[in-house]
Structure formats: C-alpha cells, structure tokens
Copies of this chain bind each other. A is one copy, B any other.
Amino acid sequence: MPRHFGAVPGVVPGMAFVNRQELRDAGVHLPTQAGISGSASEGADSIVLSGGYEDDRDEGDVILYTGEGGRDPLTGHQVKPQQLVRGNLALAISHRDGLPLRVTRGHRHSSQFSPQSGYQYAGLYRVDDHWREVGRSGFLIWRFRLTRLENQDAHHAGADPQHPDSQHPERRPTLVQRIVRDTATARAVKALYDHRCQVCGERLETPAGAYAEAAHIRPLGAPHHGPDVAGNILCLCPNHHVLFDFGAFSVGDDLRLLGLPGRLHVHPQHAVDREHLAYHRRHYALQAGLEWGCSVPLT
C-alpha cells in the first residue's frame, strides 16, 4: 500500500487519542515508537511530538522540529551528531516536494498546545525549511521548520471522504508553484548583476524581461532572522537558488564555491557579508562535511 500523505478522512484537527496504538489504528501515525513516519524514498507523512528533544520549539502554527538519531537510548541525551538519513532524510524530501505532513502532539511534549494527556492531532503542516545546527548538547542536529497549512477547519477535514486528497494544498484552485516576493533591496541586487546568476552567469530571458531570484544567504524570518540587506542577498538563477537553499553548495570567505567548482562572481559595489556566508555554511552546507561549519565559532 502506498504511503498516505495528507489528511485522514474523519480525523479533524483537535481530535484526541488515548495512546500511540489508537493513533496507529486511526491511520494517523503508523509507527508506535518512532516520532517520524516516512521513508527516504517517499518522504515523511506524519510526526508525533513527544517532547524528547531539548531544542524543539512550538509556536502553534510554526514548529521547529529536531530530527532523529544520535541519542543514548537510556538517558535520551544527544551523544553523537545526527545524520541526514532515514526519518531526517524523509523530512528533507517532504520539504523538497512540498508534501503535507500530519502533526500530532503528545502530553509529554512541552508547549501550550500540548494535550493534558494522551495525544492530539494538530493538522497538516508543510516542511518549509531544513538545516543543521549545533544543539545544546554540542552535537550537530537537523532542524525542520514546519508551517501549518491554511484552511483546515473541521468542516474541510471531514468533508470529502471520497477524496482524501481534497484538503491538500495542491488541490486548492489558487495553487501557486513559485512565489517570489522581492523587496526594493532584492531588486537592487538583481539590477546590479543585470539579472545574471552570480554562480553560472546565466540570465534567463523571458517576455517579461530577464529573470533572476534574490537568494537570502541567512534566511529571513524565525529562527534565522537574516536581514533583508544587500550583504545578505545573492542574485542567482532558480537552479542555483534551489541548490543553495538546499545546501548543495555554499561559499567560502574567499568567495570560492564549496561543493561546486569555481568562485562566486561579486560586483565591486556588492559587499557580501562574510558572517552570513559562515551562517549558511554552518547551517545548510553538507557535502563537503563538517569542516565547512565547525572550525568557526557558533552563533
């Protein structure tokens, strides 16, 4: 049976479950132990927040979720780095593919949204970012930012059992594949490069003019709080923007590319902030290994 992504017919946000077996029987979360339900080929379909991770943060509609692995099974302490494998890789694939993720909170998860006892289904979220950082333990952990999908009241969730996909975001008529929202600063950076990619020099020509994307080196918004200033923005083609956001390459302080051959092309009037480059190396770069990130102080 293929893995089921999205809402379970009849299960509405707020619904309570006594234990993990009930969650399994309802089809919400099949593993009775693991917090992440998913596979490295299909992506993750569900998680249960059980309070095991010291670095989790839960603001209701936005959840910072810590990946799995590297913990001592007896003490629960992080004793080695987490890797981008199994459940963590599954969540990364859900990010890449924009898959909906069922989220359930357990009573041991410490947040104002947690139930007093048992488990409570919270609804569908999407994974809209993932990166690595050093957790309180001193070991690398993987973080996933989950954002709650809109329009999932009880009415929607149970409305159409014939079409369990009916509340998936891709079914909404206003689906937008690509939302690029530029500030004046972002536009200025792109103009400086005449919409040429700082990595490959590509300039996409469209009937609406040249197209490039403003890539924030240290991402905007919580938890990164990167500033929307020129020193934190690169002008990239969409391909290199994806590769950069996913950590397939990064940039050294000397502007050499890490993970790709070559150097970042930088205009004399564009002061790329080395601290933000270091932030990106620490949190997103993967392929060249730990030496990219951990030889510099952590902030």
Chain A residues close to B by CB (< 8 Å): 2, 5, 62, 84, 89, 92-93, 95-99, 126, 128, 130, 147, 165, 168-184, 186-187, 202, 204-209, 211, 213, 215-216, 220-222, 228, 237-239, 241-243, 245-248, 286-287
B176 and A206: CB pair below 8 A? no
Q: Assuming the A-B contacts A177-B179, A241-B177, are A206 and B62 also in contact, with contact meaning beta carbons closer than 8 angstroms in the complex? A: no
Chain B residues with CB under 8 A of A93 = 208-209
A247→B211 CA distance, assembly (Å): 12
Q: Assuming the A-B contacts A237-B239, A238-B241, are A177 and B213 also in contact, with contact meaning beta carbons closer than 8 angstroms in the complex? A: yes
Q: Could you list 6 further interchain pairs (A-B, Cβ under 8 angstroms) beyond the known A170-B181, A170-B183, A207-B286?
A: A97-B182, A170-B182, A172-B221, A177-B180, A204-B243, A206-B248
Q: Closest approach, in angstroms, between the C-beta of A2 and any C-beta of chain B?
A: 8
Q: Closest approach, in angstroms, between the C-beta of A145 and any C-beta of chain B?
A: 9
Q: Closest approach, in angstroms, between the C-beta of A244 and any C-beta of chain B?
A: 10
Q: How many copies of the shown chain assemble into the complex?
A: 2
Q: Assuming the A-B contacts A92-B208, A177-B213, are A98 and B182 also in contact, with contact meaning beta carbons closer than 8 angstroms in the complex? A: yes
Chain B residues with CB under 8 A of A287 = 207
The one of B178, B208, B213 in contact with A179, judged by C-beta atoms closer than 8 angstroms, is B178
A207 and B92: CB pair below 8 A? yes
B182 and A221: CB pair below 8 A? no
A95 and B178: CB pair below 8 A? no
Q: Name which residue of chain B comes closest to A94, CB basis.
A: B208
Q: Assuming the A-B contacts A228-B170, A238-B242, A239-B237, are A98 and B208 also in contact, with contact meaning beta carbons closer than 8 angstroms in the complex? A: no
Q: Name which residue of chain B comes closest to A202, CB basis.
A: B239
